[in-house]
Structure formats: C-alpha cells, structure tokens
C-alpha cells in the first residue's frame, strides 16, 4: 500500500475501538491522519468526552509531523521542554507530545500516517492504536 485509504483508516479506528472494549478501557476517541496531518477518520465511542477528539488528533499530528511515536516525543520533550512548548504554540495547539499515538507504516517502512487515541492512560491509548493498525495489515511504528 502506497497510500492510506479510507477503508484502511476506518478499519484501524474500528479495530482500535474494539480492542478498547475487549480490554475494558474507558470510552475512547481514535483519530487517523494521513502523512500531511489531515484527518482521514475519527471514531468516538459512546460516552467519550468532547476533549477526546482534540487530544487524539494532536497526539497523532505530532507523531506524523515528527516521524516518530508520541511516546518518543514525550521522552524528547523532557530533555528539551522549551522546544516542545514552542512547537505546541506555533501549531496552535495541534501538537501534543504525550504517549498514545503511533505511526502507520506499510511493509516497506513508508509512513502512511498516524493513529492517535485518547480516553485511557497513554499506554492504553497506544496499545489500541497498535492493535488497530496491525488488524488492518499495516505496521505500527
């Protein structure tokens, strides 16, 4: 796959939500973005708060923009907080370096986009994104 299709993005988001239900997590919001950071799809589970969209999208936006998972960004932010505060400010709040988003890659390692989630802990959010990406036959990175 050379491009993230709507069908693949929907599968990622739906399978991530399914993984959240199986694990018993709080209601989730899952955003799937293309390589330009544009929203392809968003799934909001019943009961998820209004904040889920902005947080899930901002985690995924940062991951795809920087080319690494949001977990890596969170680690980097600890060592260089001023830079990451500046990134958040210059992106009008679209950038959130917190665990919960991973890159979506094809089998050749090309970045197709990113999936981000909000509703659980960063670890839980990340786990469901990975589950969704793998269920769609793609590689989480």
Give the three-class secondary structure for 14.
helix
CB 117 within 8 A of CB 28: yes
In this predicted structure, what is the pLDDT of residue 2?
A: 82
Q: How far is CA 7 from CA 25, 60, 94, 123, in A?
A: 25, 18, 25, 26
Superfamily grouping for domain 6-140: Haem-degrading domain (3.30.450.150)
State how far the Cα of 39 lies from the Cα of 22, in Å rounded to an integer. 26
> Tens of pLDDT along the chain (141 residues)?
689 999 999 999 999 999 999 999 999 999 999 999 999 999 999 999 999 999 999 999 999 999 999 999 999 989 998 888 888 788 887 888 899 999 999 999 999 999 999 999 999 999 999 999 999 999 999
Residue-range domain boundaries for the chain:
6-140
In this predicted structure, what is the pLDDT of residue 1?
A: 64
In this predicted structure, what is the pLDDT of residue 87?
A: 82
Q: Give ∠ CA 110-83-51 in degrees, rounded to 5.
A: 75
């Amino acid at each position: 796959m050379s491009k993230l299709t709507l069908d693949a993005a929907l599968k990622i988001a739906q399978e991530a939500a399914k993984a959240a239900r199986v694990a018993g997590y709080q209601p989730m919001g899952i955003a799937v973005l293309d390589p330009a950071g544009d929203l392809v799809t968003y799934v909001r589970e019943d009961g998820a708060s209004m904040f889920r969209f902005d947080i899930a999208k901002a985690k995924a936006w940062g991951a795809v923009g920087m080319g690494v998972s949001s977990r890596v960004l969170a680690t980097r932010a600890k060592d260089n907080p001023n830079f990451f505060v500046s990134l958040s400010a210059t992106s009008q709040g679209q950038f959130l370096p917190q665990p919960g988003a991973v890159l979506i890659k094809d089998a050749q390692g090309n970045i197709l986009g990113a999936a981000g989630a909000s509703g659980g802990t960063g670890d839980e959010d990340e786990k469901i994104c990975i589950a969704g990406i793998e269920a769609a036959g793609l590689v989480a990175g």
